[in-house]
Amino acid sequence: MTRTCGTEKYLTAYADGELSPRLRRKVKQHIDSCETCARELDSIRSFDTILKDVPVAPPVPAEKWERFERLLSQEMDRIDRKAARSSRVPEARPVFGDLRRRAIAFAGVGIAAALGLMAFWPTGIAPIGLSSNNGCAVESIETFASGYTPMAFTSDDPEMTVIWVFSEQVEGGGRADAPGSL
Amino acid sequence: MRHTAIASTVVLVLALLCATAQAAADEVTIQVTSIAAATLSDEQIESGDVRVDEELSGYAQKLRALFAYNRYAFLGDVRTRTDFGTTAVFQLPEHFAMEIEPTRFEPDGSGRIEMMVTLIRDVRTGEHRGERGRSHDEIVLRTKIRLENGGTVLLGGPPISGGVLILALSARR
């Protein structure tokens, strides 16, 4: 295990001439008396000498840098696209997605057909076969006068079938009363 | 000779009875009761209870249970007999008329009478201009029903003076 004297941390700065004059004097006095630190300082200075002897690479022309950066950018884009394709998860689709869409479409067509029937059906036609109990079955029900809407009702208590003609007209100007509890 | 005369008489009487019975079987008795239903104010109804005319006592309970009006006035009662396939015409209050044609008696044991019912209103126009006015009929309701033999169906809703018209239609073969 190497013994430390606490001055090693200043040796690099000492070799580079970056210490204050006061600290530089103290470090120099220590090195003169400490063989370990003296050897370490020699090692640092010899390494700096090696680095100074390494030939510096000639500067790269600007056009070569531009071409390099362009090629690098293209390559990075290609890698990004490839990564995006490989990481793309197929869109999840509900199991009954098509069925639901078909059901919605079918319901839409049905509603449209019902609205069409309501719009073009002869005035006042109400659903037939409305009652089959209470002693009276209503097979058909219709009106040929404007302002009337006939409907059939059945009541269990008392047992009775009622065919009611709702009217928008009432003598005196108001609306006809509704049949109340029907 | 005497026996022959007696036998002939018996056959003739039986034939007459059968013909009468057949004629009766082809007939339907129809009754239409006209009712004016209205909602009156507390001042107009002294006791606050639902008032039903005595002539409508047979319908009072049903009327109270089915409708929210508090006044039921008896307007009239019409009864007639008609054959299947023949239209009976009933003149009703407030310029209404009803045509009823029993079309067939269901032979399947249900005992229902199939009828075509048409409610007609005589509409007068032009009277407001001081003229005598012209009238024309409008079909307020046409319905095909199968009514239990002896049963009753209620038809109503057309506005009349002071309320609405309710018709109780009964038929018995």
Shortest alpha-carbon distance between residue B22 and chain A (Å) = 25
- Domain ranges in chain A are 8-53, 117-172
Lowest mean per-residue pLDDT among A37-46, A114-123, B11-20, B163-172: A114-123
Query: B118 touching A, CB under 8 A?
Result: no
Whether residues B67 and A170 touch (CB distance < 8 A) is answered with no
pLDDT higher at B26 or A37: A37
Shortest alpha-carbon distance between residue B90 and chain A (Å) = 18
Residues in chain B closer than 8 A to A154 (CB atoms) = none
Probe site for chain B from A125, A153, A165 (most B CB atoms < 10 A): A165
Six token digits for residue A124 = 């006042």
Q: Residue B124 contacts by C-beta under 8 Å, 6 or more apart in sequence?
A: B95, B133, B134, B135
pLDDT at A123: 38
Q: Are B125 and B133 in contact (CB under 8 A)?
A: yes
Tens digits of per-residue pLDDT, B41-52? Answer: 777 766 666 788
Q: How many CB pairs under 8 A join A and B?
A: 126
Q: Residue B102 contacts by C-beta under 8 Å, 6 or more apart in sequence?
A: B28, B30, B82, B83, B84, B85, B86, B113, B114, B115, B171
Instruction: Specify the DSSP element, H or E, that contains A120.
Output: helix A97-120
pLDDT band at B19 (very low <50, low <70, confident <90, very high): low
Six token digits for residue B61 = 């309970």
Type of residue numbered A58: P
pTM value is 0.54
**Using beta carbons and an 8 Å cutoff, which residues of A are at the interface with B?**
135-145, 148, 150, 152, 155, 157-158, 160-167, 169-172, 176-182
Whether residues B148 and A136 touch (CB distance < 8 A) is answered with yes
Which residues on adjacent β-strands are paired with residue B13? none
Shortest alpha-carbon distance between residue B19 and chain A (Å) = 30
Q: Which of A147-161, B95-109, B130-144 has the highest mean pLDDT?
A: B95-109
**For chain B, what percent of residues have pLDDT higher than 90?**
35
**ipTM of this predicted structure:** 0.79
pLDDT higher at A182 or A52: A52
Shortest alpha-carbon distance between residue A121 and chain B (Å) = 16
Lowest mean per-residue pLDDT among A64-73, A151-160, B83-92: A151-160
Nearest CA in chain A to B123: A145
